[in-house]
A and B are shown apart, each in its own frame.
Chain A
Amino acid sequence: MNPEYVRVLHVHKWFRRGSEQVDVLNDLTLQVAEGEFVGLMGPSGSGKTTLLNLIAGLDRPTSGEVWVKDQCISAMSEGQLAGWRTRGIGFVFQFYHLLPVLSAYRNVEMPLLLLPLTAAERKERVLTALDLVGLADRVHHRPGQLSGGQQQRVGIARAIVTDPDLIVADEPTGDLDAKSAEEILALLCELKTSLNKTIVMVTHDPRAAARADRVVHLEKGQLVTEPTPISAAM
Chain B
Amino acid sequence: MNLLRLVIDNLVRNPMRTILTSLATMIMVLVVTGVFSILSFLAAATTEKAENMKGIVSERWQIPSQMPWSYAASLKEGAPYQPGDLKVAPKDSMTWSFYGGSTDSNPKNRSVNTILFAFCLEPQALLTMMDDLDTLKGPPRKDLEASVAKLEQNRIGIILGRERAKSLGKAVGDRFTVYSFNYKDINLEFEVVGLFPPGRYDLSSAIRGDYLQSSLDAWSREHNGQLHPMAGKSLNLVWLRLKDQKIFSQVSDQILTNPSFTSPSVKFETASSGVGTFLQAYRDLIWGMQWLLAPAILFTLSLVISNSISINVRERRTEFAVLKVLGFRPWQILLLVLLEALLVGVTSGLVSAGGTYLLVNNVMGGLRFPIAFFGSFYIPEAAWWWGVAIGGGTAFVGSVFPAWSARTVKVAEVFAKVA
Contact = CB atoms under 8 A, between A and B. Distances in A.
Interface stretch (A33-41, A97-105, A224-232): A97-105
A82 B2 contact: no
B330 A78 contact: yes
A82 B318 CA distance: 16
B415 A113 contact: no
A101 B9 contact: yes
B328 interface: yes
Contact of B330 (A58, A82, A101): A82
A163 interface: no
B315 to A, nearest CB: 11
A156 B332 CA distance: 23
Contacts of A95: 418
A85 B324 CA distance: 9
Contact of B329 (A82, A101, A170): A82
Nearest to B318: A97
A22 interface: no
Nearest to A79: B329
Interface stretch (A1-9, A48-56, A131-139, A187-195): A48-56
A49 B419 contact: yes
Nearest to B325: A91
Contacts of A53: 411-412, 415
A86 B326 contact: yes
Interface of B: prevailing SS: helix
Contacts, number: 67
A56 B415 contact: no
A58 B325 contact: yes
Interface in A67-101: 78-79, 82-83, 85-87, 91, 93-95, 97, 99-101
Interface string B291-326: 000000000000000000000000000110011111
* Count class of interface residues, chain A: 20 to 34
Contacts of A79: 329-330
A83 B327 contact: yes
Given A49-B416, A97-B318, A111 B327 contact: yes
A58 B329 CA distance: 12
A110 interface: yes
Contacts of B364: none
Contacts of B328: 82, 114
A53 B415 CA distance: 10
A119 B330 CA distance: 24
A42 B239 CA distance: 94
Interface in B1-29: 2-3, 6, 9-10, 12-13
Given A53-B412, A97-B318, A113-B2, A82 B13 contact: no
Given A78-B330, A111-B327, A170 B13 contact: no
A187 B223 CA distance: 113
A93 B323 CA distance: 13
A158 interface: yes
A86 B3 CA distance: 16
A205 to B, nearest CB: 15
A129 B322 CA distance: 19
Contacts of B324: 58, 82, 85
Contacts of A110: 323, 326
A85 B327 contact: yes
Nearest to B10: A101
Interface in A132-176: 158, 162, 170
A219 interface: no
A183 interface: no
A111 B328 CA distance: 8
B326 A50 contact: no
Interface of A: 49-50, 53, 56, 58-59, 78-79, 82-83, 85-87, 91, 93-95, 97, 99-102, 106, 110-111, 113-114, 158, 162, 170
15 contacts: A49-B415, A53-B412, A58-B324, A82-B328, A85-B325, A86-B327, A93-B322, A99-B319, A99-B322, A101-B12, A110-B323, A111-B326, A113-B2, A114-B326, A114-B327
Q: Which 6 A-B pairs have the closest CB atoms?
A: A86-B327, A59-B412, A101-B13, A82-B329, A113-B2, A58-B411
